[in-house]
Copies of this chain bind each other. A is one copy, B any other.
Amino acid sequence: MKLDVLFSPIQADELFFTGKTTIVIDVLRASSTIITALANGAKEVVPVGTIEFAVKVSGGIFGGQTLLGGERNTKKIEGFALGNSPTEYSKEIVSGKSIVFYSTNGSRAIVKAKYSANLFVCSFNNLNAVAKHLKQLNEDVIILCSGNNNFFSLEDSVCAGMLINELVNVDKNFTLTDSSKSALTLFKSYGKNILKLLSESDHGELLITNGFESDLKDCAELNSTEVIPHYSANVLKVLK
């Protein structure tokens, strides 16, 4: 089994992912938020690549069963019901709903990887569950870090490294690339205190400045759920 990491979605085009098993990580905050929404009973999350498309998609669905969620540069988008804080996606609000979701990095990374044969969303919240599932699948894996406006994100890379660490600890028969070796090294260096890592990361600092400090605590929670968002037919649902 080969484990590879992309530190930014810009490093590959859509066709690169064709037929692959891809794990999308956007710790701050899209993957944490999507996992929370599905764990709290949302029917599905529809990740979209543009705000315009989010509005268009949501307009075609009747009966008040759809919510628009997400952010642009950390802030809630005008006209959207929800931002990108996991805590907004509570049972009362999301249960049974379809959520059309846009975010600067995470939702676009998921859409970019749409041709994957297997596409899952991971954060610290569901890391063990994802690792367990990948062990069963036993396929080569691409871990796609959503990054930060095409740049490198420490928190996504450390999360990728933690996932790799879970996998290589069980089965020594893995091939690592330059990037997966590096992610593993970064996990070993920064993974002991996840909340501290998030607080000191570039994006974490921006979130704190913009008033989202409490989100960091939610995003740092390790293995709080077994829910794995699985992308199929353009939507993310809980993997059964």
Nearest opposing residue in chain B for A157, CB measure: B182
Within A178-237, which residues are at the interface with B (CB < 8 Å)? 178-179, 181-182, 185-186, 189-190, 201-203
Nearest opposing residue in chain B for A204, CB measure: B178
Residues of B within 8 A of A177 (CB): 202
23 A/B residue pairs, CB under 8 Å, sorted by A: A6-B151, A7-B7, A7-B152, A8-B8, A8-B10, A11-B11, A11-B150, A11-B151, A148-B178, A151-B178, A151-B179, A152-B178, A153-B178, A154-B178, A154-B181, A178-B201, A182-B182, A182-B186, A185-B186, A185-B189, A185-B190, A186-B186, A189-B189
Within A1-59, which residues are at the interface with B (CB < 8 Å)? 5-8, 10-12
A56 CB, nearest partner CB in chain B, Å = 28
Residues of B within 8 A of A8 (CB): 7-8, 10-11
Residues of B within 8 A of A185 (CB): 185-186, 189-190
Residues of B within 8 A of A181 (CB): 154
Interface size on A, residues (CB 8 A): 27
CA distance A94 to B186 in the complex (A): 42
CA distance A26 to B126 in the complex (A): 37
- A8-B8, A153-B178 are known; give 8 further A-B pairs, CB within 8 A: A6-B151, A7-B7, A8-B11, A151-B179, A152-B178, A154-B181, A182-B182, A185-B185
A51 CB, nearest partner CB in chain B, Å = 22
Within A156-174, which residues are at the interface with B (CB < 8 Å)? 157
Q: Which of A148, A151, A157, A202 has the largest count of B CB atoms less than 10 A from its CB?
A: A151
Contacting pair A12 B189 (CB below 8 A): no
Contacting pair B150 A179 (CB below 8 A): no
Contacting pair B182 A152 (CB below 8 A): yes
CA distance A150 to B182 in the complex (A): 16
A155 CB, nearest partner CB in chain B, Å = 8
Nearest opposing residue in chain B for A154, CB measure: B178
CA distance A150 to B10 in the complex (A): 9
Residues of B within 8 A of A189 (CB): 185, 189
Residues of B within 8 A of A179 (CB): 151-152, 154
A209 CB, nearest partner CB in chain B, Å = 15
